[in-house]
Structure 1
Amino acid sequence: MIPHKANKQAVVQISNGTLTATLGSIGASLIDLRLDGVDHPLVLGWKAPSEYLRNDPYLGCIVGRCANRISNGQYALNGKTYSVERNFLGKHCLHGGSKGAARQNWRRNNQTENAVSFELEIPEGDMGFGGALSVKAHYSITSPATLNLDIRAIATGDTICNFTPHWYFNLNGDGDIGDHLLRVRAQDYLPVDDELIPLGSVEPVRNTPYDFQTLRPVGDAPLDHNFCIARERIRLKHIAQLHGLRSGVALDLHSTEPGLQIYSGDFLDSADLPTVFGAPYSTRSGLALEPQGWPDAINNPSFPSVVFMDGQEYHHQSQYMFSRLSDRHS
């Protein structure tokens, strides 16, 4: 195992010659992603490794132990009420708290030319959550141009567990993501209140701004919603497509997760911070596609469960397959 330095980001690169990923140990982050023959990054990322410790919009991090929002910073499990950090609007918990997995320096391990693992121990009581978790995120690149993410966690004590890669895509390399074409294989979504907390109902996407059942432009409607892929965790399957028409790059997303949170980056603003794109990021510079359990599931018994009991294993798989639109149409 490579020695771990708590305050120093380890930056590594994996590649199969066609797809190259730059990864950082803080948040087990995807910092940069390049497709051979394309002269720009496909994801948003900070140029300076130290920026991954900031309270930023979670660029590239793996977030958890419980991704997304927990209403009122509270949940009940086994008859006990847990109060967790309210780091969203001072009222709700977001992404496991301000010092959740995204802000931790994961241990790098088992690196090869086209794969690497990151490991993290989350103790009992961290950010107010019950139970401990041993987490491993394994990245690999396979042919022709697929980035694979495999996240496993073992619970010690009963707990909640829901990790997601918080990666922002801009397949064109610059500009607003509104002109990207998006398809999501979901018939339903979760309506939310003004504080982005699910109302508890599951509604059809048809005749709403959230209907991406056929490939169409992302447009300018703000998105920060969960699309309901399934009512339980599933076998790996195709859940979404994203096309950058100006660059000719296409992304096909496969996952085991029952939900896909899509965020259109309406509050992105990196001011003068250096980025892998060069220019600072502004509103709607990237589109986050986050396979995960449904938000606030612990407080909504009808949602797919995010509870993992003592000794139970959590297993998340996601695949990001890149190609050229010209190849698809030839």
Structure 2
Amino acid sequence: MSDTAPRPVGTMPDGSPILEARLDGDGLGLAVLSLGAVIRRLDFRGRPMVLGRDDPHDYVRRTPQCGAIVGRFANRIAGGRFTVDGTAYVLDRNEAGRNHLHGGADGFSRRNWTFAEAGARDVTLTYRSQDGEEGYPGALAATCTYAITGPGTLRITLTATTTKPTLVNLTNHTYFNLLLPPEGFPAPRIDDHVIEIPAEAYLPVDDGQIPTGEIAPVAGTRFDLRRPARIGGEAFDHAFVLGRETTPEPRPVGRVTAPGSDVALTVLATAPAVQFYDGTNLPKAGLGYAARTALCLEPEAFPDAPNHPGFPSAVLRPGETYRQVIEYRFATEEAR
């Protein structure tokens, strides 16, 4: 086994091995699991930047989202129902029996991906989702590439093709905290973190976190994060609108700093929206983290897109290739 070859670190319930690959370069250290294509560790200049667990089996027994690639459809679909080309489909209602969330109870974050390529600075994982899996039509061939592409920069490239018209909306669900101690635990609250999201509008939601269909301006609301703002104590679990089209190359979608840290995180992506989640429900994950001890910035399609004719389509058709690119860029104060 070469130094860069993925190594077995655990076992799935069906007995298949969980593999881990490690990347290092340009100030970043990264550990990726085959289970869920999870980012288990992400260090910048030797300091942890994300929540993660040492025991890979924690990702089997407990949270399926921490650091994972989520899909087929990230975020929520109302009632677990949608229609494509006149055909209705019913999905797993895995959120309190009410809505479909992050691809279902056995979505992509629960699946054991395959390492197709592995090097010192990049790895590619693949997963083939069967026709009808979690209720989605079409067999979907998905790939995820993690690559260290420059100083403090991790680039994630997600692609997919399908055999039938289907929904695709993939993202990475890593939890960030710029004030983690060297051992990564316990994590302090992120209330004092400062966030900036260059969005002119956001999607209001109902009591089930489903978009109402309105695309509302952020001006004059607490959702106006166009200038750096302290996160504070108000809850955030909302999609911010960056545009109506997927862009060819990543653009800035969010920036995070924290008093007491000399590190800044800039997130760039090609997606038309980014979900800002403040980690309020982290205790439910069962990993020992308290509420609001990390935040997520999840570039994605509009939540519940198939049920809102005014939202950009999230339908992928045979012959097309879905592509989403996300970059996490870390920089120290003196480098900014």
TM-score by length of 2: 0.91
Q: Which position in structure 1 is the counterpart of 2:126?
A: 119
Query: How much does 1:110 deviate?
Result: 1.1
Secondary structure of the 1:72 match is helix
Measured on the aligned residues, the alpha-carbon RMSD in Å equals 1.8
CA distance in 1, matches of 2:285, 2:151: 36
Q: Which position in structure 1 is the counterpart of 2:300?
A: 292
**Matching residue's letter, 1:282:** A
CA 1:103–1:271 in structure 2 vs 1: closer, same or farther (change >3 Å)? closer
The percent of aligned pairs where both chains have the same amino acid is 36
CA 1:94–1:270 in structure 2 vs 1: closer, same or farther (change >3 Å)? closer
CA distance in 1, matches of 2:164, 2:285: 43
- Deviations 1:188-215 (CA, angstroms, capped at 9, x unpaired): 0000011101011010111212111001
Decide whether the 8 Å contact of 1:14 with 1:21 is kept in 2. yes
Secondary structure of the 2:18 match is coil
Q: Which position in structure 2 is the counterpart of 1:276?
A: none
Decide whether the 8 Å contact of 1:46 with 1:59 is kept in 2. no
**Matching residue's letter, 1:32:** R
Matched residue count: 320
Query: How much does 1:8 deviate?
Result: 2.4
CA distance in 2, matches of 1:128, 1:57: 19
Q: Which position in structure 2 is the counterpart of 1:226?
A: 239
Gaps of 5+ in 1: 274-279
Q: Which position in structure 1 is the counterpart of 2:80?
A: 73
CA distance in 2, matches of 1:304, 1:234: 13
CA distance in 2, matches of 1:104, 1:89: 21
Q: Which position in structure 1 is the counterpart of 2:183?
A: none
Q: Which moved more, 1:250-259 or 1:202-211?
A: 202-211
- Deviations 1:281-308 (CA, angstroms, capped at 9, x unpaired): 1000100110000100010111111001
Q: Which position in structure 1 is the counterpart of 2:42?
A: 33
Q: Which position in structure 1 is the counterpart of 2:204?
A: 191
Gaps of 5+ in 2: 181-186
Decide whether the 8 Å contact of 2:131 with 2:137 is kept in 1. yes
Query: How much does 1:47 deviate?
Result: 1.7
Query: How much does 1:3 deviate?
Result: 11
Q: Which moved more, 1:16-25 or 1:249-258?
A: 16-25
Query: How much does 1:239 deviate?
Result: 1.5
Q: Which position in structure 2 is the counterpart of 1:46?
A: 53
Query: How much does 1:175 deviate?
Result: 1.1
CA distance in 2, matches of 1:161, 1:219: 33
**Matching residue's letter, 2:170:** F
**Matching residue's letter, 1:223:** F
Q: Which position in structure 2 is the counterpart of 1:321?
A: 329
